[in-house]
Amino acid sequence: MRVRTWAASSCLLAALSFGVAACGSDSGGSSSSSSSSADTGATTLTIYSSMPLQGDSRPQSQSVVNGEKLALEEAGGKVGNFTIKYVSLDDATAAAGKWEPGATSGNARKAAQDKTTIAYLGEFNSGASAISIPILNEAGILQISPSNTAVGLTRAQGADKGEPDKYYPSGKRTYGRVVPADHIQAAAQVTYQKDSGCTKTYIVNDKEVYGAGLAKQVVASAKAQGLTIAGDDCIDPKAANYRSVATKIESTGADCIFYGGITQNNAVQLWKDLHAAMPTVKLFGPDGVAESAFSTKIGASAEKMTYVTNPTLDPKLYPPAGQEFFKAYQAKYGATPEPYAIYGYEAMKDALLAIQNAGDKGNDRQAVIDAFFQIKNRQSVLGTYSIDENGDTTLSDYGGDRIEDGKLVFDQVIKAKTAS
């Protein structure tokens, strides 16, 4: 944000080369982050956030940052005797228009070299976390992502060779997330497709850690749930158009198409070309396109054939604390939050809770990491959940969304039928 099961070997090679290049460049840089004494020794602690704040990612990412700031503000900027400083970093560049490996590793090294750092909220994209996790892991810093879903960041089951251990050079786990991983989303996707009448699905992905990994999970879940896969391929995110891809898919007789990827990898152009060639085929996207940068641009006709899985549910389905979050966000920022804002809020709440539960050792990085992994039966804005030994949340419900007049509209709760 790389492994077998793709029909096209070029997808596999591209994904693998991306992962190797990213991880290789980071490991070299992470040696400079020797940083970490276990105890920061500070009474003012810093929580860094790293999000893609340029390009189409900005509205969603800014909403996440707003959620994080809201949680910290509600805490009065303090935990016990510790004052919390918040620093928002950008892992995107204007040239890329999305997250970029160099910017990501730079953010992680900045946090690793700051002796007051106690936690790091990020990344937004799974491929970016594949870069930052090793750097922060060597520095012994708690990292919580509000949005990463790639399975291999935390689990060996269903992951690529060497995952997740290759992300943790210290041999200890330092990373977790508050959003369900992609084995959950993939199962929800297939359930949603079957409930929507799909019998034969074609899968494409954008070759990033998140998109390629999710596509692999959807293939596995489709086999388990009895949904036929018409084909499994990757796209060039920089292509001028996808008319040839559409022609290839049309020839298979697929009645549905699933895209594993993010908006910023040319998803809007892909959607328009697929819909123009196959106007009656249903188009399914993941949480990577669950944002206004996608929903406002695909066009009124394509909207009617679009289905999106998204971990965010209808506000009415959240507990009272969750409903209060939406009210507080609207009151403070004067806008409806993007889907991942509530997860940004919860990621900050978990970081603050870990510091609080570490007590007098709230400035001890390892004590704070341990406290995060000990979160059990937490009653939160998202509902009640625990953090498991992998750093994953026990939440599993997904939302199914449609698009109306350029806006994501909640359709249904999807109970994911997972094997594990």
Set out the domains of the chain in order of their start, with CATH numbers. Answer: 9-181+337-385 (3.40.50.2300), 182-311+398-415 (3.40.50.2300)
Instruction: Please compute the mean of the pLDDT values over residues 186-191 and round it to a whole number.
Output: 97
Q: pLDDT category, 415, cuts 50, 70, 90?
A: confident
* Phi, psi angles (nearest 5°) of residue 407: -120, 140
Closest by CA to 124, choosing from 140, 100, 106, is 100
Question: Which 3 state secondary structure label does DSSP give 159?
Answer: coil
| Residue among 287, 283, 222 at smallest CA distance from 418 | 222
Show the tokens assigned to 95: 């040239």
pLDDT in the model for residue 37: 42
Average pLDDT over residues 223-234: 97
Predicted local confidence at residue 9, as pLDDT: 37
Is 15's pLDDT higher than 60?
no
Q: Determine the average pLDDT of the residues in 224-242.
A: 97
Please say if the pLDDT value at position 201 is more than 80: yes
In this prediction, residue 250 has a pLDDT band, given cuts at 50, 70 and 90, of very high
Instruction: Give percent above pLDDT 70 in the chain.
Output: 90
Average model confidence (pLDDT) across the chain = 91
Q: Calculate mean pLDDT across residues 222-238.
A: 97
Question: Of the candidates 382, 375, 352, 371, which has an alpha carbon nearest to the alpha carbon of residue 70?
Answer: 352
For residues 332-343, average pLDDT: 97
In the beta sheet, which residues pair with residue 398?
A: 414
State the burial class of residue 87 (Cβ atoms within 10 Å of its Cβ: 0-12, 13-18, 19+).
middle
- Span 269-289, average pLDDT: 98
pTM of the model: 0.88
What is the per-residue pLDDT for 3? 30
Judged against a pLDDT cut of 70, whether residue 39 lies above it is answered with: no
**Contact of 313 with 412, CB cutoff 8 Å:** no
Residue 5: pLDDT band (50, 70, 90) is: very low
Quickly state the pLDDT bin for 419 (edges 50, 70, 90).
Answer: low
Q: How is 3-71 classified by DSSP, letter by letter? A: -S--S-HHHHHHHHHHHHHHHHHHHHHHGGGTT--SB---SEEEEEEEE--SGGGHHHHHHHHHHHHHH
Apex 310 CA angle, 304 and 312, nearest 5: 120
* pLDDT over 60 at 81, yes or no: yes
Give the pLDDT score at 318. 96
Q: Catalogue the long-range contacts made by 413-417 (C-beta closer than 8 Å, 24 or more residues apart).
A: 413/313, 413/317, 414/188, 414/191, 414/192, 414/195, 414/309, 415/191, 416/180, 416/184, 416/185, 416/187, 416/188, 416/191, 417/187, 417/190, 417/191, 417/221, 417/224, 417/225
Mean pLDDT of 372-388: 98
- Tell me the pLDDT band of 133, cut-offs 50, 70 and 90: very high
